[in-house]
Amino acid sequence: MINEFLADAESRMKKSVESLRDELVTLRTGRASPALVEHLLVTYYDVPTPLIQIAGITAPEPRLLVIQPWDLNSLKDIERAIQTSELGLTPTSDGRVIRLAIPYLTEERRRDLTKRVRQRVEECKIALRNVRRDVITDLEEAKKEKMISEDDLFRAKDKLQELTEKYYEQADEVGQAKEKEIMEV
C-alpha cells in the first residue's frame, strides 16, 4: 500500500517537472526553435487549434522560423495569433508562408525572461509540495484506519521527502539550463 502511494507521488512529481520542461521550451531565447510557436492556439474555423496541427514549422536559419500552413485560408488566422501572443514577434507573409525573424534579446529582456523562468520553477516546486502534502494526508489516513503502522508511516514520509528533494533538484536543473540558454549572447 505504501509503495502505491509513493509510486503515485513519483508519477505526479515527474509530470510536474515534465510540464515545467514543456513550458520553458516555449520561452523565447536568442535562437529560433519551432517549439517556440508549436502550441500557439490559432482560431481555425472557429476552433482554437495548436499551430503545429495546421502548419509545418521549420527553422532554416538560427534566427528565422518559417511557418507553412497546409491550408492557405488559415494564413491570416496564424498571423493574427502570432501578433496577439506574448512572443513579441512580427510575422511577415508572402501569401504562402509566414516568416518570423527572431531578433537579438536585449539585456533587460533577458533579465525579464530569467525572472519568468524562476517564477515557473517556483510554481513547479509548489506543485511538488502539494503532491507531497496530499500523499502525507493519505498516509496518515491509512494509519488512522490501522492499515499501516506508525513506523511504516515515518519510513514512508522519509522516502517521500527524498523523492520530493530529487524532483526539486530536477526542477532547479531545468530552470538553470534555461537561464543559461537565455543569458547566452
How much is the pLDDT for 30? 67
Domain CATH for 38: 3.30.1360.40
Q: Are residues 125 and 173 in the same domain?
A: yes
What DSSP state is assigned to residue 71? S
Is 71 in the same domain as 121?
no
Give the pLDDT confidence score for residue 28 in this predicted structure.
66
Residues 88 and 53 in one domain: yes
Instruction: Residue 112: give the domain boundaries.
Output: 2-25+107-183
Count of structural domains, the chain: 2
Examine the domain organization and report whether 173 and 132 are in the same domain.
yes
Residues 63 and 154 in one domain: no
Are 38 and 91 contained in the same domain? yes
How buried is residue 126: exposed, middle or buried, by Cβ count under 10 Å (0-12/13-18/19+)? exposed
- Cell (9 digits) for 123: 510554481
Phi-psi region of 69 (alpha: psi -120 to 50; beta: other; left: phi over 0): beta
Under 8 Å between Cβ of 156 and 148: yes
User: What pLDDT is stored for residue 171 in this prediction?
Assistant: 95
pLDDT less than 50: residues of the chain: none
**Burial track 106-115 (b if 16+ CB lie within 10 A, e otherwise):** eeeebeebbe
Residue that finishes a domain, picked among 44, 68, 101:
101
Spatial separation of the C-alpha atoms in residues 120 and 148, rounded to whole Å? 36
- In CATH, what number is assigned to the domain containing residue 112? 1.10.132.20
> What is residue 85's three-state secondary structure?
coil
pTM here is 0.73
DSSP, collapsed to helix, strand or coil, labels residue 35 as helix
Mark which of 101, 116, 143 sits at the end of a domain: 101
